[in-house]
Structures are given as C-alpha cells and as structure tokens.
Amino acid sequence: MAVLDVIGVSSELVENFRKLASETLNIEEDRLSVAAIHTHAGPVLRVLDEPQDAGFNLSDYYARVAAGTASVAARRLEEVRLYSGVGSAGEVVVNRRNPESGPVDPRVHVVSFKQGSAYRVSLVNFTCHAVVLGHNNLQISADYPGALNRYVEMLTGGGSVFLNGTCGDINPLTPGTDLSRVYDRSVGTFEDVEWMGRIIACEAVKTAELSKPEEPNLRMSCSEVDAKVWKPLSLEEARRELEELKASEEPSAAYRRYMAEFKLRVLERLKDIEYLKLPVVALALSNDTALTLLPSEVLVEVGLRIKEGSPFRNTMVASYCNGYVGYIPVEKAYDEGGYETTFPTCIVERGTAEKLVEESLRLLSKLY
C-alpha cells in the first residue's frame, strides 16, 4: 500500500500505480492499494473532472514514484513485532455540518512495527480534513498529517505513515476557529499545523508505548459496491444555466458560473454512465486489528458505524483510497442539505454510504 500527500487519487492514478507495482513486486493488482491524506495544500492534481495540462501529467508521475517506492521497500523487508492500540484526540476536531452537537471520531488508531524496543514504522489513523491551512495559503504542504508524521518520527526514531479516516464532514478545531464560520479555514496558520500535528502525534506515541504485542495473522478480502449516479439536472438544463450566468453582471455570478461549468463537465463525463463501482478493501493484521479502505470522501458516521459493528477490537477505517468520486453522504444528510450533499460535489444516489458500511462489515466478518 502507498500513501500520497495529495488531495485524492483518481482511478487513472490507481490503475497506473497497480500496473507498475504489480510488475515489479509480482503481486496481483487487486491486492495493491493507494491512498491520499487529503491535504488541500498539495499540488494541483486531477482527481474528478478538473481540466488537465496537456504537458506534464502529475498523476502519472505520482504513480511511478509510488510504485518505485514500494519496490524499494520490498527489497528492505525486516522481521518485526506488531503492536496495536487506540488513543483519543477529540479536542482538536469539529463536525462542520453541525458544530454544536454533530458526531466526531476522536480515535487515534496506532499500529507499530518494532524490532525489540526499536520502532521501525508506525501507522496512524485519525479522522479529520487536512485543512488547517485555508484557501489563502499558497504554499505546498502536507498540512497537519505532515507535521504529525514528523513528530512521530522524531519521538520514536522510526518511520510514520498516516491514513485519514472518514472525515468528509470533520474539520480541524484550531485555536482561531470560528464555529459560526466553521467552513472558513483562512484563519489557519503554519503554527496551527504544528500545534495539531504535535497533539495527535504525542497521543499516537503514548498509545504506541502502552500497546501490547499481537500475533500477526494477515488476510485480505476485497469487493465492489455498485453506486447509482445522481444526475439532478439534464445536460441541456446545465448548458442553459451556464449561458444565463455568462450574461449576468451580478457580483455573485462569477462563483455561480464556476459551479455551473463544474456541473456541465461532470454531466458530460457521466452522460453514458448509470453506475459507478466503488472498491472496498478489508485487511486483517492480527486477530484483534483490522483495516478497512474506502474510496472517495465519506462522512464520519460511516466510519463510526463500521467500527461499532466490526468484530475486531481495533478497526481502522481509511477513506480517499483507490479512487475518488466526490462526497458520499449518509442517508439523512441528503435531507439536511449542505455542501457535501449538493451536486456536483456529490454524484451518488442515496443509500451509497449505507452500502459501504454493509459491505465493509461483511468483509470484516468474513476475515474474523
């Protein structure tokens, strides 16, 4: 598995990575996964429908680098012991759809691989958008996951890998956050990046230090969920909306025109597509610890339901894995409305999130 410091991974990137890594590692393609940490401060990368420069293809570059890194790692395999634990850092996150009482996932999941008392690498799973830095930041950054990895490595002397959870509606709760404008991350600073990364890293290392060894028992299962595509308007309606906005001189027309262009591009791309296949992967590391990999941008309740229903003591759930199709809200969120449920940031019909939960639990039960 490879993890990239980018906003998301397109199906094209996943396909290229799997093809290259499969050839060098002699592993079946469907047993290889690639995930994104979902930093909004990363380099521009086509993940859904964005126009792409005809010159340098960044997705191809990342696929080659990830496959090459996996190949190097395969030549450096070492015998290690596995440790697993769960901590908590709920004080640094907020549900942006419902700041006062919306659910969050405070869990800091840590799986450590050690030789004796020496850490070789730690896998950390936490659920929060990597948006400490807002739209006003113009510097490339791995945001808080980058700081987290750096502090874990500093404290343990080993490597660190971060997997983001089902954080579609979860934002950082940094000192300058205004809950009345919780989506506005222009208040975020690089000092906040360090602050948040340091807090989660310290909790992760504390959890790792208190963890007990487990007997490795690796097994894996994967499948796909059929998601019906949601098209709330026709191509003709989208074209008409765009033409009307092009003629408008209202101050708000520029943003609305951008969204109308976005809608049109998505509808054109999906005009002959009725269903999308969403990959689900379950990986058991031991009889107590498992990892579920979900695609795209999933709301927090999905991860919470999987963890609550899983037979494993420590169940990590990662999203932004093996493809990106936009937001995948839970059923009730469609009725509540909001950014995450609005076309074209959401292009799947109701019930898709519930299918992901059901299939994840089926695979986990099968492995257990």
Q: What is the pLDDT of residues 102-147, one digit of tens each?
A: 999 999 999 999 999 999 999 999 999 999 999 999 999 999 999 9
What pLDDT, on the 0 to 100 scale, is given for residue 252? Answer: 78
Which pLDDT score, from 0 to 100, does residue 120 have? 98
Position 48 scores a pLDDT of 63
**pLDDT value for 3:** 98
Q: Which residue has the higher pLDDT, 314 or 255?
A: 314
- Distance from C-alpha of 198 to C-alpha of 201, rounded to nearest angstrom: 5
Instruction: Answer whether 201's CB lies under 8 Å from 122's CB.
Output: no
**pTM > 0.85:** yes
The rounded radius of gyration (Å) of the Cα atoms in the chain is: 20
pLDDT tens for each residue of 31-60: 999 999 999 999 877 766 555 554 468 889
Q: Answer yes or no: is pLDDT of 86 > 70.
A: yes
Give the whole-number percent of the chain exceeding pLDDT 90: 93
By CB atoms closer than 10 A (0-12, 13-18, 19+), residue 56 is exposed
Specify whether the CB–CB gap between 35 and 9 falls below 8 A: yes
pLDDT higher at 248 or 180: 180
Q: Where are the domains of the chain?
A: 217-231+270-368, 232-269
Averaged pLDDT for residues 183-202: 98
Mean pLDDT of the chain: 96
For residue range 281-302, what is the model confidence (pLDDT) as tens digits? 999 999 999 999 999 999 999 9
Q: Point out the least confidently predicted range of 51-55, 175-179, 268-272.
A: 51-55
